[in-house]
Amino acid sequence: MQESNSSNSPSLSHINAKGEASMVDVTRKSVTQRAAVATGKVMMSKATFDLIVSGGHAKGDVLAVARIAGIQAAKKCADLIPLCHPLMLSKVQVDFEPDESQSQINVRALCKLAGKTGVEMEALTAVSVACLTLFDMCKAADPEMVISDIKVQSKTGGKTGHWIREQGTVNNGASAC
Amino acid sequence: MQESNSSNSPSLSHINAKGEASMVDVTRKSVTQRAAVATGKVMMSKATFDLIVSGGHAKGDVLAVARIAGIQAAKKCADLIPLCHPLMLSKVQVDFEPDESQSQINVRALCKLAGKTGVEMEALTAVSVACLTLFDMCKAADPEMVISDIKVQSKTGGKTGHWIREQGTVNNGASAC
Amino acid sequence: MQESNSSNSPSLSHINAKGEASMVDVTRKSVTQRAAVATGKVMMSKATFDLIVSGGHAKGDVLAVARIAGIQAAKKCADLIPLCHPLMLSKVQVDFEPDESQSQINVRALCKLAGKTGVEMEALTAVSVACLTLFDMCKAADPEMVISDIKVQSKTGGKTGHWIREQGTVNNGASAC
Amino acid sequence: MQESNSSNSPSLSHINAKGEASMVDVTRKSVTQRAAVATGKVMMSKATFDLIVSGGHAKGDVLAVARIAGIQAAKKCADLIPLCHPLMLSKVQVDFEPDESQSQINVRALCKLAGKTGVEMEALTAVSVACLTLFDMCKAADPEMVISDIKVQSKTGGKTGHWIREQGTVNNGASAC
Amino acid sequence: MQESNSSNSPSLSHINAKGEASMVDVTRKSVTQRAAVATGKVMMSKATFDLIVSGGHAKGDVLAVARIAGIQAAKKCADLIPLCHPLMLSKVQVDFEPDESQSQINVRALCKLAGKTGVEMEALTAVSVACLTLFDMCKAADPEMVISDIKVQSKTGGKTGHWIREQGTVNNGASAC
Amino acid sequence: MQESNSSNSPSLSHINAKGEASMVDVTRKSVTQRAAVATGKVMMSKATFDLIVSGGHAKGDVLAVARIAGIQAAKKCADLIPLCHPLMLSKVQVDFEPDESQSQINVRALCKLAGKTGVEMEALTAVSVACLTLFDMCKAADPEMVISDIKVQSKTGGKTGHWIREQGTVNNGASAC
């Protein structure tokens, strides 16, 4: 990962030798093109799923609201996560894939920038807040919804080059960025 | 749920008959004592779990940073989720329970207020951002972590009185608030 | 006007006798149900109008994005306008009326709260930011758009009761609130 | 405009082929010196105009408050307008020109940066919020004020080079940046 | 102190028995009229003092900018200080008293609200940010300025009634609020 | 100082010849590595000091909360201080040194970036908000605390090169950046 220290053993980001929080120093890192894709999902009852998606199309503004919330949250990442560096995203995209068989909405976010730090936290934040926003609009109908499987699918740029999540439940995102 | 419309069939909050986003009108609702508890978890490798928790105690500021991030995020809920009403939380608490057997950190948030709307979105937001913050501090060591099972455990106050999530994967939160 | 001083002559809000900015003191004012409606418009070329509205329906997310931006801006009013009191909106609604004959989009916002201060600034802010957001999405096609006629149409609640804007561009002020 | 797509027909910024909101990708755009000037005005009664401007000079902090509000709003543009890219303004200037004959305050904002995107939205936001702030300070005396004619006067930098608004009520801004 | 626990010995606010951060629960506290006054100062060279204050009057917008910054910062207190409760200030006032003999600017802030928690943190935040803003405008001329003596002068409302700071730097605390 | 105008006599930053606020234009300044160190302190009663620091170690999350608040405040500097340029900090560090003999907590912040403007305001803001946060957690026990001696210790980068505060109470920060 581009923000690890230089020792061989993995360690915590943003935590110094005394166990204190301290934003990683990226002053001398070079600017490279970076991208990250994260995914997650909101699981709901069949009735709630049908409220959002009918006849194969989402009703009105529902997904639009969640999409905007996700995009705006990506821009607020450094304000929400204490040790994230402020950065200037050059692209944010949030997509939804309603999965009728599982009665869930899959959420995917892509973030890009030309900068010194990776953007996976921005992508994860976009997914999280898009999921929360879907929850907010459906909570009267279905308070038992669950938000799950929020994770990074791929990232490019920086020291580590192109990283893709391995197998499992992953849809690998190879073409994503 | 306290924000549903008065018809018998469940419907989407904040979406009007034309499918347009519109913040629910709570002007004439009465102020009651309200509370909500939400939970979630960050699943990680055993090595990463050990980086955070050693000898039964979390190292340094790690959990403190995530706790503060969760508390602050609860206060930002109306800024993050487009149709949430602004409100004045009277209590926010974020707790962590490292679960060594599952190699995961369980996160729980309690929010309270005397107000016109429920606070489950605030509790869910606190849990989500606390999870994201843990991810941020561990991402160099373990980019494959997964944030999961973010859900409401219980809520009190408002028209619906005391609601507790039904069993299943639920730890029922009966004593929670 | 609920925030004017008690003298007979009209004066500036939030400016003390020395000409210094000072937020009006509303500590002892009573809480009443309040509402305000504001309107505005974005004037554009016929070609741009057709890009947004085709066949009588707005294309995709365009109006949804502007609606969300307006709603969120209403909640940020006290952060944007230095001397506005923070308050807890209980309802925000933003509507659009495409006017093909004039090649313009009319914007209308309604804000409500039970509180100590009027909500006309919140409604005006919602209209302004909804207009700016429409501009942002159309600016590549039409950089000569104009945002105009942002004004309060009506307000209710507080000392002055129900105020409705008079015909024309009249400024009488005296009976206003 | 610098953010248009490459086709010959004009199209909406930030809206993809499916009609979904999606922040324009500027990752690979080059950094150039950019500037934009926007203008607007607040029309008011003669009595209100005289409250603000007496003897040719504005009273106390009135214009200073509106100026600061406009400058700060320019910095918040990406937070207010959902699909705006975050950027680092290198200069913001807000000027007022009281026009006694029309009983109105003219507002003008200049924004500059060395970056990948234009700054006309920042200039328009500065003008809008400066106007709203003037409204806020005068609303007790004159609730019938109108904010109008918010538009871009000129912009420089990026693919389109130097663009100046044509004819009409325009003061052409040629010397502005 | 209105937020202390019920034991006889003083203790830390917002820190539970395990040493973890936890926002104090004010859900069941009653709403009372509250006010707080805080003060501070910026000490500078004689030359810098003269740049700001000439002929007994501050030059242009200098104090106006710092005043607005202080007022807005009071409204952001809960966003800046992690465990502060969000609240709705009903009055904020920031005053400056240039003290030529000491070559310093004295700053004083008054905050008021009808609410469940004291407003001394809001007053202290207003003073701090007003001082920082003065520093920002003078830093090119005088990088050696010092901001000092930020403290609460008085507070009213809540369980403890009217508290006024004692002479000197005395800390008694016992009777404090 | 890197932001002074080019004349020989010192002058106010961000204030133009008419006395109006106007953000300094840094569009054409070159990007250099910059750092700044600021310090301050919170003076308290011996009893309060002992509440925070016992046996030589701070209790639980107390200093962690203040550290996070300081780091986040540095990132909010341009939002708090009206004429500060937005910038992208590449490093923020906040340290505490409990001084038992003086019954005070010393606070020190280091900020870094590769950019066009100095970061001393960010460092001063981090120190101020860390001090305010300590105050917030101790105010029930000791309302008479005083925040003092907030100042810049050193700065590097930009036109002025390496500047170190002279003499006095200064710990000179030579090794700091």
Q: Looking at the complex, does the CB of residue A15 fall below 8 Å from at least one CB of chain D?
A: no
C134/chain E closest Cα distance in angstroms: 28
Counting one residue from B and one from E, how many pairs have CB atoms under 8 Å apart?
48
CA atoms within 13 A on the CB side of E12: 30
> Which of chain E's residues have a Cβ under 8 Å away from the Cβ of C85?
88-90
CATH number of D42-158: 3.30.70.640
Among the listed residues A111, A106, A138, the one whose alpha carbon sits nearest the alpha carbon of residue A42 = A106
**Among B2-16, C10-24, F101-115, the range of highest mean pLDDT:** F101-115
Burial of F121 from C-beta contacts in 10 A (0-12 / 13-18 / 19+):
buried
pLDDT < 50: residue spans in chain D: 1-8, 169-177
CATH tag for A45-158 (out of 3.30.70.640, 3.40.190.10, 3.30.565.10, 3.30.200.20): 3.30.70.640
What subunits make at least 3 CB pairs under 8 angstroms with B? A, C, E, F
Q: What is the pLDDT of residue F55?
A: 66
Catalytic annotation, residues of F: 136
pLDDT in tens, F56-101: 677 778 999 999 999 999 999 999 999 999 999 999 999 999 999 9
B36/chain E closest Cα distance in angstroms: 13
The single residue listed with the structure tokens 């979630």 is B40
Provide the greatest CA pair distance for chain A: 57
Q: Would the annotation count B121 as a binding residue?
A: yes
Q: Which two tokens stand for residue A114?
A: 């030309």
Query: For F113, phi and psi rounded to 5 degrees?
Result: -165, 160
Q: Which residue of C has its CA nearest to B26?
A: C90
Query: For E52, phi and psi rounded to 5 degrees?
Result: -80, -45
Q: Looking at the complex, does the CB of residue E80 fall below 8 Å from at least one CB of chain B?
A: no
Q: What is the pLDDT of residue E174?
A: 33
Q: Would the annotation count A121 as a binding residue?
A: yes
Say if residue E75's pLDDT is above 90: yes
* Contact criterion met (CB < 8 Å) for B80 and A76: yes
Say if residue F5's pLDDT is above 80: no
Rg (Cα) of chain B, in Å, rounded?
18
Give dist(CA C14, CA D165) in Å, integer. 36
Q: Would the annotation count B122 as a binding residue?
A: yes
Neighbours of B46 (CB within 10 A): 10
Distance of CA E67 to the CA centre of its chain: 13
CA atoms within 13 A on the CB side of C69: 31
ipTM score here? 0.92
Please report the sign of the dihedral spanned by the C-alpha atoms of residue F81, residue F83, residue F86, residue F88.
Answer: negative
The overall average pLDDT reported for chain D is: 87
What would the mean pLDDT of B173-177 be, rounded to a whole number? 30
Give dist(CA C89, CA C122) in Å, integer. 9
Q: Looking at the complex, does the CB of residue B116 fall below 8 Å from at least one CB of chain F?
A: no
SS3 for C91-123 is EEEEEEEEECCCCEEEEEEEEEEEECCCCHHHH
Between A120 and F1, residue with greater pLDDT: A120
Give dist(CA D151, CA E145) in Å, integer. 42
What subunits make at least 3 CB pairs under 8 angstroms with F? A, B, D, E
Give dist(CA F82, CA E136) in Å, integer. 9
Name the helix (H) or strand (E) containing D110. strand D104-115
pLDDT in tens, C51-88: 998 766 777 789 999 999 999 999 999 999 999 999 99
Q: Which residue of C has its CA nearest to D134?
A: C81
pLDDT in tens, E83-104: 999 999 999 999 999 999 999 9
Q: Which two tokens stand for residue B64?
A: 């403190």
> Which of chain F's residues have a Cβ under 8 Å away from the Cβ of E12?
51-52, 59, 62, 137-138, 140-141
DSSP assignment of chain B, as one string? -TTS-SSSS---TTB-TTS-B-----TTPPPEEEEEEEEEEEE--HHHHHHHEETTEE-TTHHHHHHHHHHHHHHTHHHHSTTPPP---SEEEEEEEEETTTTEEEEEEEEEEEESS--HHHHHHHHHHHHHHHHHHHTTT-TT-EEEEEEEEEEESSTT--EE--STT----TTT-
What subunits make at least 3 CB pairs under 8 angstroms with E? B, C, D, F
Which of A44, A61, A68 to mutate: most B Cβ within 10 Å? A61
Query: Which residue is catalytic, options E50, E136, E142, E149?
Result: E136
- Of A20, A28, A78, Cβ closest to residue F75: A78
Q: Looking at the complex, does the CB of residue F28 fall below 8 Å from at least one CB of chain D?
A: yes
Give dist(CA E117, CA E29) in Å, integer. 8
Among the listed residues A141, A154, A159, A65, the one whose alpha carbon sits nearest the alpha carbon of residue A109 = A154
Among the listed residues D100, D106, D112, the one whose alpha carbon sits nearest the alpha carbon of residue D63 = D106
**Residue F10 confidence class, pLDDT cut points 50, 70, 90:** low
Q: What is the pLDDT of residue B89?
A: 96
Q: Which two tokens stand for residue F14?
A: 């961000």
> Residues A99, A47: contact at Cβ < 8 Å?
no
* Contact criterion met (CB < 8 Å) for E93 and C22: yes
Q: Which two tokens stand for residue C105?
A: 């989009």
Give dist(CA C110, CA C37) in Å, integer. 5
E5/chain D closest Cα distance in angstroms: 39
Please report the sign of the dihedral spanned by the C-alpha atoms of residue B147, residue B149, residue B153, residue B155.
Answer: positive
Q: Looking at the complex, does the CB of residue D79 fall below 8 Å from at least one CB of chain A?
A: yes
> Which of chain E's residues have a Cβ under 8 Å away from the Cβ of D61?
61, 64, 67-68
Strands E57-58 and E53-54 turn out to be: antiparallel
* Contact criterion met (CB < 8 Å) for D21 and A71: yes
pLDDT in tens, E114-163: 989 999 999 999 999 999 999 999 999 899 999 999 999 999 998 778 99
Task: Using a pLDDT cut of 70, give the percent of chain D over it.
Answer: 86
Q: What is the pLDDT of residue E98?
A: 95
Neighbours of B89 (CB within 10 A): 23
Among the listed residues B33, B86, B176, the one whose alpha carbon sits nearest the alpha carbon of residue E27 = B33
The single residue listed with the structure tokens 């150039």 is D32
Task: Using a pLDDT cut of 70, give the percent of chain E over it.
Answer: 86
The CA angle A174-A111-B135, to the nearest 5 degrees, is: 90
Q: Would the annotation count A85 as a binding residue?
A: yes
> Which of chain F's residues have a Cβ under 8 Å away from the Cβ of D64?
20-21
Give dist(CA E32, CA E158) in Å, integer. 6
Q: Which residues of F136-156 are buried (b: 16+ CB within 10 A; e: fewer)?
A: bbbbbbbbbbbbbbbbbbbbb
pLDDT in tens, B122-171: 999 999 999 999 999 999 989 999 999 999 999 999 877 899 998 654 33
Coil, strand or helix at A150: strand
Q: What is the pLDDT of residue E84?
A: 97
Strands A104-115 and F57-58 turn out to be: unpaired
> Which of chain B's residues have a Cβ under 8 Å away from the Cβ of F68?
61, 64-65, 68-69
Q: What is the pLDDT of residue A125?
A: 98
D81/chain A closest Cα distance in angstroms: 9
Q: Looking at the complex, does the CB of residue D57 fall below 8 Å from at least one CB of chain F?
A: no
Give dist(CA E79, CA B86) in Å, integer. 14
> Which of chain E's residues have a Cβ under 8 Å away from the Cβ of D72?
72
Query: For E97, phi and psi rounded to 5 degrees?
Result: -130, 100
Q: What is the pLDDT of residue E170?
A: 38
> Which of chain C's residues have a Cβ under 8 Å away from the Cβ of D166?
144
Give dist(CA A134, CA B81) in Å, integer. 9
What are the contacts of F46-50 at 24+ separation with CB within 8 A? F46/F103, F47/E10, F47/E171, F47/E173, F47/F141, F47/F142, F48/E10, F48/E171, F48/E173, F48/F103, F48/F138, F48/F141, F48/F142, F48/F145, F49/F98, F49/F100, F49/F103, F49/F104, F49/F105
Catalytic annotation, residues of B: 136
Strands (E), E23-177: 32-43, 53-54, 57-58, 91-99, 104-115, 146-156, 163-164
CATH tag for E32-157 (out of 3.40.50.620, 3.40.50.720, 2.30.30.280, 3.30.70.640): 3.30.70.640
> Which of chain C's residues have a Cβ under 8 Å away from the Cβ of D167?
none
* Contact criterion met (CB < 8 Å) for D147 and C128: yes
* Contact criterion met (CB < 8 Å) for F23 and D64: no
A80/chain B closest Cα distance in angstroms: 6
Say if residue F4's pLDDT is above 90: no
Q: Would the annotation count A20 as a binding residue?
A: no
**Among A156-170, E16-30, E51-65, E111-125, the range of highest mean pLDDT:** E111-125
Burial of B106 from C-beta contacts in 10 A (0-12 / 13-18 / 19+):
middle
What would the mean pLDDT of C82-107 be, rounded to a whole number? 96
Q: Domain B32-156 is of which CATH architecture?
A: 2-Layer Sandwich (3.30)
Q: What is the pLDDT of residue A170?
A: 36
* Contact criterion met (CB < 8 Å) for B143 and A132: no
The CA angle E82-E86-E92, to the nearest 5 degrees, is: 110
Least confident of B76-80, C53-57, F129-133: C53-57
pLDDT in tens, F34-58: 999 999 999 999 999 999 987 667 7
Among the listed residues E87, F79, B122, B86, the one whose alpha carbon sits nearest the alpha carbon of residue C119 = B86
The CA angle E98-E99-E102, to the nearest 5 degrees, is: 140
Q: Which two tokens stand for residue B117?
A: 């709307």
Q: Looking at the complex, does the CB of residue A19 fall below 8 Å from at least one CB of chain F?
A: no
Say if residue F167's pLDDT is above 70: no
Q: Which two tokens stand for residue F138?
A: 């101790």
Q: Looking at the complex, does the CB of residue B28 fall below 8 Å from at least one CB of chain C?
A: yes
pLDDT in tens, B49-58: 999 987 667 7
Q: What is the pLDDT of residue D6?
A: 40
The overall average pLDDT reported for chain B is: 87
The single residue listed with the structure tokens 């009488």 is C172
The single residue listed with the structure tokens 């969760």 is B70
| Sequence ranges of the domains in chain A | 45-158
> Which of chain A's residues have a Cβ under 8 Å away from the Cβ of C60?
64
Name the helix (H) or strand (E) containing F131. helix F120-138
Catalytic annotation, residues of D: 136
Please report the sign of the dihedral spanned by the C-alpha atoms of residue C77, residue C79, residue C85, residue C88.
Answer: positive
Q: What is the pLDDT of residue F177?
A: 27
Q: Looking at the complex, does the CB of residue A113 fall below 8 Å from at least one CB of chain D?
A: yes
> Residues E107, E130: contact at Cβ < 8 Å?
yes
Give dist(CA F86, CA A86) in Å, integer. 10
**Residue F131 confidence class, pLDDT cut points 50, 70, 90:** very high
Q: Looking at the complex, does the CB of residue F20 fall below 8 Å from at least one CB of chain D?
A: yes
What would the mean pLDDT of C113-140 be, rounded to a whole number? 96
**Per-residue model confidence as pLDDT tens for chain A (177 residues):** 333 344 445 688 899 888 899 999 999 998 999 999 999 999 999 999 999 987 667 777 899 999 999 999 999 999 999 999 999 999 999 999 999 999 999 999 999 999 999 999 999 999 999 999 999 999 998 999 999 999 999 999 987 789 999 865 433 333 322
Query: For D172, phi and psi rounded to 5 degrees?
Result: -75, -5
* Contact criterion met (CB < 8 Å) for F89 and A86: yes
Q: Looking at the complex, does the CB of residue A61 fall below 8 Å from at least one CB of chain C?
A: yes
Q: Does the domain spanning C45-157 belong to CATH 3.30.9.10?
A: no
